[in-house]
Structure 1
């Protein structure tokens, strides 16, 4: 069914499920370890998906901020600290967007470094995916075969088939038993202090900023340009999106959220082509938050990891393909440096090293030409 520029179909449903792989483990960690209420977390994420889907009429991934999530889960932050971190990131990205700083960063970032970030992200996703598939290699390989066979099928999309397969396996293994039944739950109003926001920035927020700038803003904008050349979304708008949504969601139990090239590649790979995918995904998340808050952590944890890993593996491979457009000249070296440093240290340092190498090389070339 098509309504205006929105499509609501099995293919869009498959695309809506394409970036669930990064949501599952981090959502479980926030809920189980940090004590974040699942109703607020899921409903706020769902609303963010719906709003961005209506605004842009394109697939627009909404994901957890990964560095902050990992730190919060590792240090067992209380829920108020999680909400405070989201608010702090909202302030930061609103300032970055409105000040024009994001546009400056985008202007000085060459394509080679962007491709390096995309390739590093693809490799990291693939490595994590293989680790998840190791929990059941046969199921993982069967899932890969299903994706390759059904990827372009409009009526039985691969992602939908895999989710159904995972649910059947859970049923056969009796993993639905003991979980609470559906009950209505609504988000509670949350409070936190500005002191907690500052502490969250010191403990994880400042480390999150370079990753968000590269992956969630610059790489996502480039990916949108590649998929929909006639409908670009600027880096400023992406930063503004993150600023606004992170200023609102923490007061109702939402976690720090961002966009992401990996999520967008996952949505597109599994069929998303319009904002309908966001509306479908948002509707599913809102429904889960409203009616499955008591059992969602158990459901996520019981879902076969090998299936999630298979989906992530193919998305990771898809991201590495974007490096093919670079020519074999000195521009290749900043990409190589970005990839290597990102894999050995992290993507923030990979971005910095690639940027310095590109501009240092360009400056040296100009000086040599002038003499």
Structure 2
């Protein structure tokens, strides 16, 4: 992950300048991805699958390092495929440790051999856009179905119900017009106040508990279960959404402020996080385009935002640790759900630039204006080409959302893209045959 000293100095200046002039937006933006991070971390900690203290400490360190190295609000998110299997099957700490280390090792190999760069170069932009939009819609569906839908008008409590969800959504729409209002900061603060009150009434407030790390060594059976049952399914999700899609989204969002990270650097970052923290009971983590979109939506524009979040996580994890579980379990789902919806919508909006200069392949190979995502290209694409690109993206989105699987959506998008090229390949083959360049 080594970077030139000059780049690190530039990133540090960018972080300091942005935080000094826009510290409220940076702090608000840093909290934008907690709607994804908290529910999964809490669910795994309640099942004693991971250590909440270790998860907070290590993810805090990762936040600080990514902010210092990359200079953008790069999120540290749970590995969702591993988390889903671990929660459903009540994984032991050894099994989830094995899953995280297995995925980290695979990503390390892909990064150092150049497979990640090759993979990124051959994936069509409409497929990548489809993965991003599909991930955004999946976040919205998940938030509405699992967090918001179970709420009643006055249940499960006075602090968490549909009335508060509607109020939070109205506030979200309003702050989309008045962007200077730090929505995530306000909503998270209110939610924490409500959670503290509910926890105090239950008599289980967090207490000081210094972090005591321990090492988890998986058994042979745990290596098999973690790697095969959870790790293999996570690899395509991590590669597509946590590396390739993140790099493309970073180029789209930050192309005028700071140099976006490379495929290899993001891959090494994901590998390093899991090859280190999982041994100590921390949750397997990655970067994610949904989290990046969420933090950007709520105001984050530099690495200073995630550095702030990392310091906060590190402080809380070191001093309170596992005693935070009861408090975080009582954080209102009404607020968490709306924050996740906002993140999903922000990510889904990247699909709008598919046939404009916001699409990197058009800006680079079609003579478009690079760096102006808002400027639509005139007669660069024919109507037929626009329709083809749109169809490939929509097939990717539909299959991804329908099967709830990034890899299946990716394959469907690729097959659709290749199907459009069959007539071209056929004509080329006939031409080679007629010229005598192709013989049986």
Q: TM-score, normalising length from structure 2?
A: 0.79
Given that 2:103 and 2:234 are in contact with CA atoms closer than 8 Å, whether structure 1 keeps it comes out as no
The one of 221, 238, 253 equivalent to 2:247 is 221
Does 2:116 match 1:102? yes
Match of 2:229 in 1: 203
Structure 1 residue 272: Cα displacement: 0.6
Report what 1:353 is aligned to: 412
Return 5+ residue gaps in structure 1 as ranges: none
Separation in 1 of the partners of 2:175 and 2:200?
27
8 Å Cα contact 2:104-2:270 kept in structure 1: yes
Consecutive unaligned residues of structure 2, counting only runs of 5 or more, are 1-10, 152-160, 356-385, 431-440
Question: Are the counterparts in 2 of residues 152 and 271 from structure 1 also a CA contact under 8 Å?
Answer: no
Query: Aligned pair count?
Result: 370
Please state if 1:92 is matched with 2:117: no
2:291 is aligned, of 263, 280, 304, to 263
Pairwise CA distance, 1:180 = 4.1
Residue 378 of structure 2 aligns with which residue?
none
The aligned counterpart of 2:358 is: none
Q: How has the CA–CA distance of structure 1 residues 194 and 331 changed in structure 2, closer, same or farther, with 3 Å as cutoff?
A: farther
Cα deviation digits, residues 192-244 of structure 1 (max 9, x gap) = 13733343110011111111111101111111000111412121211111111
Q: Distance in 1 between matches of 2:165 and 2:206?
A: 30
Q: CA–CA distance in 2 between the matches of 1:174 and 1:98?
A: 47
User: Which of 44, 55, 61 is the aligned partner of 1:41?
Assistant: 55
Coordinate RMSD, CA, aligned: 2.1
Residue 153 of structure 1, CA deviation: 6.2
Query: Which of the residues 10, 13, 22 maps onto 1:4?
Result: 13
Larger RCO (CA within 8 A; separation ≥ 6)? 1
Structure-1 residue corresponding to 2:144: 130
Q: CA deviation at 1:253?
A: 2.3
Q: Match of 2:174?
A: 149
Query: C-alpha deviations, 1:259-304, integer Å up to 9, x for none?
Result: 0000000000001101111111111111221122233211221011
Distance, in Å, in 2 between the alignment partners of 1:341 and 1:86 is: 27
1:63–1:257 CA contact under 8 A, matched in 2: yes
1:176–1:86 distance in 2 versus 1, CA, 3 Å: farther
Q: Does 1:334 align with 2:392?
A: yes
After TM superposition, the score normalised by the length of structure 1 is 0.93
Cα distance in 1, alignment partners of residues 277 and 170 from structure 2: 39
Q: Is the 1:18–1:270 Cα contact (8 Å) retained in structure 2? A: yes
